[in-house]
Amino acid sequence: MKTVYDFTVKDRQGQEVGLSKYQGKVLLIVNTATGCGFTPHYEPLEAMYKDLRDRGLEILDFPCNQFAGQAPGSDEEIHEFCTLKFGTEFPQFAKIDVNGETADPLFAFLASEKPFEGFGKGLKNAALNKFAAMNNKKYGEKTYIGWNFTKFLIDREGKVVARFEPTVDMSEVRAAVEAAL
């Protein structure tokens, strides 16, 4: 059975990194953007990382510019923004695509393990659903991720155990991470 440990990604310097490096850790893999309404998620993500990394948590950050062009900077500009504005210390990788023909294989795998089921109920979520549907129309059946700050929880064996859309309250994400630890 395939796990996240079977994948290789690129770090900010363009070097290949095997995710097997994280074997035995609980992972939270996130596609991010610096100019999104959900960008403030960096704050609770970093707080969770500081509180729980000694218990085996790693947060892996993958910037993506496919959602209304909300991550337009270079890998270094994005990293500088995140470290200066939010004090992020968790690993940040090279900017990737998460949808379409050029989607990173890791995100295609994550989404096949835990497919998109919607943003939830409520007016705000319905508005995001409509906006995301327009944005993602161009990716057709290769739309794996609905929007920025989609989070995938990976257990210590490398299996995808949960998916959290950006509309899920971060306290719920943290509770699931703590339970996985």
Domain extents in the chain: 4-180
64 close to 106: Cβ distance less than 8 angstroms: no
Full-model pTM: 0.94
In tens, the pLDDT along 44-77 reads 999 999 999 999 999 999 999 999 899 999 999 9
In tens, the pLDDT along 12-37 reads 999 999 999 999 999 999 999 999 98
Residue 144's closest CA among 104, 97, 177, 111?
Answer: 111
5 close to 13: Cβ distance less than 8 angstroms: no
The catalytic residue positions are: 36
What is the fold, at CATH topology level, of the domain defined by 4-180?
Answer: Glutaredoxin (3.40.30)
Q: DSSP assignment, residue 41?
A: G
